Structure 1
Amino acid sequence: MKRTSMEGAVCPVARSLDVIGDWWSLLIVRDAQYGLRRFGEFQKSLGVAKNILAQRLKHLVDHGILETQPASDGSAWQEYVLTEKGRSLFPILVALGQWGQEHCFEAGEPRTRVLDKAHGQPVKPLEVRAADGRVLTVQDVRLERPATQG
């Protein structure tokens, strides 16, 4: 089934999903956040077919999430490195992981956690806050849609 592009959508969530909305792309970004850089490293970590991995890496490079550079060890290989745009996905991955910890595991089931390196403690759950610091829920916000041109 051919995917519909959300490139022209007025919704930022839809446009974001157009770039990073498949699970392989987010898992590649997750692995890159934690230091993987080479095609083989991503393939080993994810177990994804090489053709799918190549497509997703190209897509992430084309959208400025990753960039390629010569291998840091001087070999003939290239490495995939997160750009600032890619690094800025970190809170998204943390939020998604925190949601998954709460809703996708049974009590006592082993799971990966994000820990603060300095203190070894779990990262505090992310919150959406108003400019004045208040915690906001979906009931506290509204969407402002652009006026249609006509």
Structure 2
Amino acid sequence: MRRTRFDDWPCPIARTTDLVGDWWTPLVMREVFLGRRRFEDFQRSLKVPRAVLARRLDRLVEEGLLKKVPYEERPPRYEYRLTDKGKAFWDVLAAMWRWGSDWLWGENGPPVILIDNETGVEVRPLVVDENTGIRLTGRRLRMSRKPKVAKPPSHAGAN
């Protein structure tokens, strides 16, 4: 069965779904944020088939979320490190964490929590507007096409 591709759709949610639409991609990225860098560590932690893991890591490198950094020459071995684009993916995982924590467990929540390294206090991610700091909800927002930017006049033939 072929899956539908969304990588050329005009919607950011559709394009992100194209990248993270399989269940291994967010889990691999979670492991990177937990400090895992090597293929064997991902494989041991996730218990994912090697071929599947290799494809996911290749796709994350191809998409620019991870970069391969050699740590051994013979035989050639690589670590996977976050790029700036990969670091920004934390926001996606944080939103998934919050939704899963709120809706997929009972009132006691999941058996794991996020802890702030500096304060030692539990963190509960929340999506806010970076301009105002106001919590974002679906009722507050609507989607709209971006206004077209006028092209500067052509100066063909001008000296």
- Considering the TM-score relative to the shorter chain, is it more than 0.5? yes
In structure 2, give the amino acid aligned to 1:88: A
Higher helix share: 1
RMSD of Structure 2 on Structure 1 (CA): 2.2
Amino acid at match of 2:59: H
CA separation in 2, counterparts of 1:34 and 1:25? 14
Assess, with a 3 A threshold, how the Cα gap between structure 1 residues 90 and 118 changes in structure 2: closer, same or farther.
Answer: same
Residue aligning to 1:53: 53
1:93 aligned counterpart, secondary structure: helix
Against the structure 1 CA distance between its residues 69 and 133, is the aligned structure 2 distance closer, same or farther, given a 3 Å change threshold?
A: closer
Distance, in Å, in 1 between the alignment partners of 2:143 and 2:76 is 49
Q: CA deviation at 1:127?
A: 2.9
Question: Partners of 2:101 and 2:47 in 1: how far apart?
Answer: 22
- Equivalent pair of 1:70/1:79 in contact (CA under 8 Å): yes
Q: Which residue of 2 aligns with 1:27?
A: 27
Equivalent pair of 1:130/1:136 in contact (CA under 8 Å): no
Distance change >3 Å, CA 130–CA 37, structure 1 → 2: closer
Q: Which has the larger radius of gyration?
A: 2
Provide the secondary structure at the position in 1 that maps to 2:114: coil
Q: Counterparts of 2:73 and 2:100 in 1: how far apart (Å)? A: 36
Superposed displacement of residue 111, structure 1: 1.6
State how 1:83-94 maps to structure 2 within 5 Å: 83-94=83-94
Structure 1 gap ranges (5+): none
- 1:36 & 1:21 partners in 2: Cα distance? 22
Report runs of 4+ in structure 1 exceeding 2 Å deviation.
Answer: 72-76, 106-110, 127-136
Give 3-state SS (helix, strand or coil) of 1:79's partner.
strand
What is the identity, as a one-letter code, of the residue corresponding to 1:98?
R
Aligned residue pair count: 147
Extract unaligned runs of 5+ from structure 2: 148-159
Residues 110, 133 of structure 1: CA spacing in aligned structure 2 closer, same or farther, 3 A cutoff? closer
Match of 1:42 in 2: 42
**8 Å CA contact retained: 1:101, 1:111:** no
User: Are 2:75 and 1:62 aligned?
Assistant: no
Partner of 2:11: 11
**Percent identity over paired residues:** 37
Task: Give the conservation status (yes or no) of the 8 Å contact 1:94–1:114.
Answer: no
- Name the SS of the counterpart of 1:137 in structure 2: coil
Q: Would you say the 8 A contact 2:95–2:125 is kept in 1?
A: yes
More strand by share: 2
Distance 1:99 1:11 in 2: 21
1:43 & 1:59 partners in 2: Cα distance?
16
Secondary structure of the residue aligned to 2:105 is coil
